[in-house]
């Protein structure tokens, strides 16, 4: 799964976790050291997902497509029931639904998903998502804390152009960028 799809999953999982909170004030979720906010006027999974994706540097077409794909897979009653599920089940169901939404949109449209004119704040949130998802991949493959710190440092130092390139580049370009981040990691124990 390409990193941009992985990051979309993290954000949606954060949304699903916040969805169960209720209340009349804005809800927040942390992605790395960045905060994602679900405004109090966003009600329901679809609106919350839209609100979260709007905070990221995704192109408008991509955000709308992802929400539409989720609507196709998750009926309104299922979406409502999602917030009532225990956290582990809610995350699992959100993962099942969203793991197909981003890739389906990318396959349908074949266009860049990241806005090349994204703000620094949007890019910081994207970077945090990449760091979280790639650190999780490293941990799942037995990476040491030193290696995880190296991954985090690599993404922290990645210039905005390359950060956007991970999301918008060809498979070969993405692999090249990721290799530049992971190469120092591979030399550590």
If one counts every other C-beta atom within 10 angstroms of the C-beta of residue 46, the result is 16
Q: Which residues contact 139 (CB under 8 A, 6 or more apart)?
A: 148
**pLDDT tens-digit readout, 102-154:** 888 988 998 999 999 999 999 998 888 888 778 877 888 888 888 888 888 88
Non-local (6+) Cβ contacts of 131 within 8 A are 32, 151, 152, 155, 156
Q: How far apart are CA 154 and CA 130, in angstroms?
A: 11
Question: Residue 1's pLDDT is what?
Answer: 45
Is residue 7's pLDDT more than 60?
A: no
Q: Average pLDDT over the chain, rounded to whole?
A: 80
**Collapsing DSSP states into helix, strand and coil, what is residue 30?**
strand
């Amino acid at each position: 799964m390409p990193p941009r799809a992985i990051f979309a999953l993290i954000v949606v999982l954060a949304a699903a976790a916040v969805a169960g909170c209720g209340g009349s004030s804005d809800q927040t979720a942390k992605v790395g050291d960045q905060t994602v906010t679900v405004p109090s006027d966003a009600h329901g999974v679809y609106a919350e997902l839209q609100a979260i994706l709007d905070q990221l540097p995704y192109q408008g077409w991509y955000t709308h497509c992802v929400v539409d794909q989720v609507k196709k897979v998750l009926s309104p009653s299922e979406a409502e029931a999602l917030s009532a599920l225990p956290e582990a089940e809610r995350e699992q169901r959100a993962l099942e639904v969203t793991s197909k939404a981003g890739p389906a949109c990318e396959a349908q449209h074949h266009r860049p998903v990241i806005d090349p004119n994204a703000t620094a704040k949007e890019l910081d949130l994207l970077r945090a998502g990449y760091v979280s998802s790639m650190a999780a991949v490293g941990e799942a493959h037995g990476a040491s804390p030193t290696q995880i710190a190296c991954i985090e440092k690599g993404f922290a130092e990645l210039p905005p152009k390359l950060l956007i390139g991970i999301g918008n580049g060809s498979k070969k370009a993405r692999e090249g960028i990721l290799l530049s981040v992971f190469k120092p990691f591979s030399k550590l124990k």
